[in-house]
Structure 1
C-alpha cells in the first residue's frame, strides 16, 4: 500500500472524527425552548423559539409551571418577568399543528396540552409574586394566556394582539372567557368573534396591557425592575409608570376603534349569536357590512360556543372559566371544524374552510349546550 493512500485514509478518518466532534458540539449547543434564569431577586422566563415566533408547546409549559411555583414560594425571589426572544413575537400562540396531528390519531396530547396549559394560566392568574409580562411583538392565543392574567402587562409599538381562534374552528381559550367580557362595553365580544387585531398603544388603550413602553426602552426597564431593592407593588408600579411617561410614541393617535365603539356596543348587544348577525345585517353601515363579511368566514359552531363562553364567563371566576374552557377544548378536539380550520388556514392555506354545519342557523343549541357539560372524572381540577 502506498504511503499516499495511508496518509489519505488517516486524513479521511481525522476529518470524519472532526465532523463527529463538531456534530456533538453543535447538538450540545442546541438552545432550550425556555430559558429560566434568576437575576438578582427576579425570576426571568424567556420563551426561546424565535424561528416559530415562540409558539407554545407542552414541553415549554412543563418547564415553566414548576419553576413558577418554586419562585412563588421562594423567599429569595421577589418578582417574575416573562418575555420572548427574537424581537418579533412574545408568543404567537399554541402549537395547533401538533394538536391536529395528535387529534387525528387519538394521541393524549389533545387532553394533556390544554389541561397543563390551563393549569399554568391559573398559576399565573393567582401568583402571589408580582408577575410582569413584556408583550413586545406578536401576542396571540397561548401567548395571551401567558400574559393577560398576570398583574402587569407591558405593550410596545411592536405588540400585535389578537384572539383569532374562531377562524380555525376553536374559541378564544386560555381564560379568554374571563378577561374578554371584562373589557369596556362589548369590545371583548367583538375581539373574540372577529379576531380583530389590536396593535401597539391600542393594546393598552383597550385595557389588555396595563402599560405602554417603547420597545427600545425595554432593556432599561428590565434592568431597573431587576435592580429594585424593595420590589413592592408600589415601587414596581412607579417604575412602570415612569417608563410609560417617557414613551410618547403614537400618544397623539386616537384609539383605532374610538369611532366604532358606540356601534360595537349597540350591534353586538344581543342575547344570541344569531341576534348579533341580525343586528349587523339590518344596520347596513360600512362597518356593519365588514363585520358580516368577517364573521361569515368563521366557524358557525365556534361563533356560538364563543358567544356563550363570554356570556357565562362575565360572572364567573377565572378558575370556573378555565374548567368550562377545558370542556370546550375537548368538544372541539372531538368535532370536525378545528381540523378543517387548521387545514384551510395553516396547512393548505386556501382560506376556504368547509364548516359543518355551514350556517349559524344549522348549529343546534342542544349541541352547543352539550359542549359545556361536565366531563365527570376527566374534568379539569384547579
Structure 2
C-alpha cells in the first residue's frame, strides 16, 4: 500500500507538479506509486485547464529505480506473478509518459537509474543539471537494462548505448546532453527559477515550452576524461557481435591504454550476471529495429522469465548479494559468458507458458511524443 505522501501533487490550475517523495530510499518506486501516478497523469491529461505537467524527485536523487527489495520480498512471500504485476504496472506508466499528450517536463537534479530512466527518458522534455547521474546497472543485480531502455539506448550515437547497458557506466548531465539522453542542461542554482517560469505557462504548445526552458539553459562542459570523448574506441569495442568478443576487445584495449573507463568496463562485465549481459546486448541490437511498444512487451516477457526462474535464479541471487546481505559476492548460474547458450537466451525471449502469467496490454491509438525538439 502506498503512503499518501510518497508522491506529492502540487501546482496551480494550469501547471501540475508530481514529486517523488521517498528521499530516504532515493525515490525508489513502489507498486502503489506507479498506480497513483498513472491515475493522476490520466486525470491531468484529460483536464482541459491543465497545460503542463512537471515531474521531479525530492532529495539528492530523481529516482534510483524500482523498489527491487520489495519485489523480491513479495515473490518470496507469495508467488512469482506478484513481481510480474509490479512490472506490468511500471511499464504501463512508462508508456503513458512516452505517449503523453501534454508537455511533461522532467527535472533531473540527481541520480536517475533503472525505473527512474523509464519514467524520464521516454518523455519529450528531459532537463538535467550538473548533479545529474545516469546509469543502467541492472546486470549487476542479475537482471538486464529494461523499462524500454533498449529503445532509447539503441538510438544513441554509435554503440554508446551498448557501452552504457553492458558496463553500468555512470555519466553526468553534460554527457547525457551530448549523447541525447537529455534535451536541456540547466545549472542547479537556476532550476527553481525555471520551475517557477514553467508554472506561469498558459499554453501546452511544445515550442512555447522550449522557449521558456531555453532562457535558463547553460553550456554543458564535458570533462576531459569523459568516456563519451572516447566514442571512436567505444564503437570499435562495442560493435562486436557477441558479449565475449566485446569483453575480449576491451581487455586488449586495457593492455594498450589502461584508461579508467576501460578498466571499469572490464571489471563490471566480469562481475555482472553473464545471462543479464547477453540479454542486454540482444535487446539493444533488436531494439534499433523495434518500436517502443515492442521493446516494452519484450522486456515484460524476459523479466517474467527471470522472476519465474525459467533458466536460472540470477535475479534472486543478485538481490541477495547486492541488496539484502550486501556481501557483493553473487554466484551466477551459469557463471561464465560462454556457458550461456543461445538456446537459453532464446528461451528467455519466448512467450511465458504459465497459467498465472498475464499479457501486458498497452493502450492502442497513442503516439510517441519524444521528438527531442518542438513540432513547429
TM-score, scaled to structure 2:
0.89
Whether 2:242 is the aligned partner of 1:265: answer: no
Quick one: distance in 1 between partners of 2:180 and 2:286? Answer: 20
Match for residue 314 of structure 1 among 252, 265, 288: 288
In structure 2, the residue matched to 1:198 is 171
Within 2, Cα distance between the matches of 1:118 and 1:230?
Answer: 29
Matching of residue 323 in structure 1 with residue 297 in structure 2: yes
In the alignment, is residue 279 of structure 1 matched against residue 241 of structure 2? no
Q: Which residue number in structure 2 is paired with residue 362 of structure 1?
A: 339
CA gap 1:168/1:200 in 2 versus in 1, 3 angstroms: same
Structure 1 residues 252 and 359 mapped into 2: Cα distance closer, same or farther (>3 Å)?
closer
1:373 to 323, 346, 350: 350
- What RMSD in Å do the two structures reach over aligned CA positions? 1.7
Q: Is the 8 A contact 1:132 1:152 kept in 2?
A: yes
Choose 102-111 or 182-191, whichever is displaced more. Answer: 102-111
What is the alpha-carbon distance in structure 1 between the residues aligned to residue 11 and residue 228 of structure 2? 42
For the 8 Å contact 1:141–1:163, the answer to whether it is kept is yes
Which protein has greater RCO, CA pairs closer than 8 Å, 6+ apart?
A: 2
Give the secondary-structure state (helix, strand or coil) at the position aligned to 1:378: coil
Q: Structure 2 stretches of 5 or more lacking a match?
A: 363-376
CA contact (8 A) 1:148 1:208 kept: yes
Tell me, what secondary structure is at the counterpart of 1:93? coil
**Which protein has the larger Cα radius of gyration, Structure 1 or Structure 2?**
1
Q: What is the aligned partner in structure 2 of residue 159 from structure 1? A: 132
Match of 1:60 among 33, 45, 63: 33
**1:102 aligns to 2:82 (yes or no):** no
Instruction: Pick which of 215-224 and 343-352 moved more.
Output: 343-352
1:142-173 superposed Cα distances (whole Å, 9 cap, x missing partner): 11111111110110111111111010001111
- Once residues 267 and 158 of structure 1 are traced to their aligned partners in structure 2, the CA distance between those partners, rounded to angstroms, is 29
Distance across 1 between alignment mates of 2:318 and 2:21: 27
Matched, 1:93 2:73: no
**Cα distance in 2, alignment partners of residues 109 and 33 from structure 1:** 21
> Greater share of helix residues, 1 or 2?
1
Figure out how many residues of one structure are paired with residues of the other and give that number: 349
Q: Which residue of 1 aligns with 2:97?
A: 124
Q: What is the TM-score normalised by the length of structure 1?
A: 0.87
Spell out, residue by residue over 1:239-271, the C-alpha distance to the aligned partner (whole angstroms, 9 max, x if none): 111100xx35x6374571244211110011122
1:205 Cα deviation (Å)? 1.6
Aligned to 1:303: 277
Q: Which residue of 2 aligns with 1:213?
A: 186
5+ long unaligned stretches in structure 1: 1-29
* Matched position secondary structure for 1:146: helix
Partner residue of 2:215? 242
**1:80 aligned counterpart, secondary structure:** strand
- Deviation track 1:275-318 (CA, whole Å, cap 9, x = no partner) reads 21232234433244543222100000000111111111111111
Offset at 1:85?
1.3
Of residues 306, 331, 334, the one that matches 1:332 is 306
Residue 371 of structure 2 corresponds to which residue in structure 1?
none
Deviation at 1:207, TM superposition (A): 1.2
The counterpart of 1:226, out of the listed 188, 199, 202, is 199
Cα distance, 1:218 vs structure 2: 1.1
- Cα offset for 1:119? 0.4
- CA–CA separation in structure 1 for the residues paired with 2:65 and 2:249: 31
Q: For 1:324, what is the secondary structure of its paired residue?
A: helix
- In the alignment, structure 1 residue 42 sits paired with structure 2 residue 5: no
Distance 2:189 2:351 in 1: 47
Runs of 4+ in 1 over 6 A off after TM superposition: none
Distance 1:230 1:173 in 2: 34
Q: Check the 8 A contact 2:175/2:222 in 1, yes or no.
A: no
Superimposed CA distance per residue, residues 53-86 of structure 1 (whole angstroms, 9 cap, x where no aligned partner)? 1110001000000111121122111111100112
Find 2:55's aligned residue among 82, 87, 106. Answer: 82
- Residue 100 of structure 1: CA displacement? 1.4
SS in 2 for 1:321: helix
